[in-house]
Homo-oligomer: A and B are copies of this chain.
Amino acid sequence: MRSIMTRQKLLEAAKEVFLEEGFQRATISQIIKKANVGYGTAYVHFEGKDDILIVLMEGVMDQFYHIAETPFFPTSKEEAEQVIEKQAYAFLKMAEAERGMMQVFEQAIGISPVVSDKWKEIRERFIQRISKDIAYSQQNGLARAALNHELVARGWFFANEMYLWEIVRNEHQASVEDIAKTITAIYTTGLYL
């Protein structure tokens, strides 16, 4: 019980420190101090700041993954389009809502090889899920069957991911709604019959 609370305290303190300092400048000592736990105890839970960051990243990305997990059994092209546009919009909107931590994640991905590997693992999970949805649509005669569903899924995720980072960096010029609408229109018209 106490152990779970200590872990939680460390995660909350880490979030604050990362948001204030960024990933590069943040130190494990700052996090332990802010969490107000003992050094020995802290290291029972986490090996270092990369380790804590990964747990925080998994937490945020699970929220994103919930969006990708929307039950997807469309019966028409129009229905598929509607669901996919909603998903793309929610995905990009969440990047906006979680901007602070997403900026920390982006920096960490660039610096830490273990965080970068974790990000790749998260990306593959999304791509596999999208891939499954495309295969379902192909099997039900809604989507062009000649296209390799995994390659299509990767391309689609890549476009979403790059827009996500633009939004995180506040570099996007258009509204999230216009971005989601436009990329979905190309994708669904290209894929669905």
List residues of chain A with CB under 8 Å of any chain B CB: 110-111, 144, 147-148, 150-152, 154-156, 158-159, 161-163, 173-174, 178-179, 182-183, 185-191
Would you call B155 and A159 a contact (CB within 8 A)?
Answer: yes
Do most interface residues of chain A lie in helix, strand or loop, or is the interface mixed? helix
CB distance from A29 to the nearest CB of B (A): 25
Would you call A158 and B163 a contact (CB within 8 A)?
Answer: yes
Contacting residue for A154 out of B147, B154, B163, CB 8 A? B163
Q: Which residue on chain B has the smallest CB distance to residue A173? A: B150
In the complex, A65→B148 CA distance in Å? 28
CB distance from A115 to the nearest CB of B (A): 12
In the complex, A155→B183 CA distance in Å? 6
Known: A148-B178, A158-B162, A190-B190. 5 other contacts (CB 8 A): A155-B163, A158-B159, A186-B187, A187-B190, A190-B191
In the complex, A156→B187 CA distance in Å? 10
Question: Hey, which chain B residues are within 8 Å of A188, CB to CB?
Answer: 190
Would you call A182 and B152 a contact (CB within 8 A)?
Answer: yes
Q: Which residue on chain B has the smallest CB distance to residue A165? A: B158
Question: Hey, which chain B residues are within 8 Å of A148, CB to CB?
Answer: 174, 178, 182
Would you call B190 and A185 a contact (CB within 8 A)?
Answer: yes
Q: Which residue on chain B has the smallest CB distance to residue A191? A: B186
CB distance from A79 to the nearest CB of B (A): 18
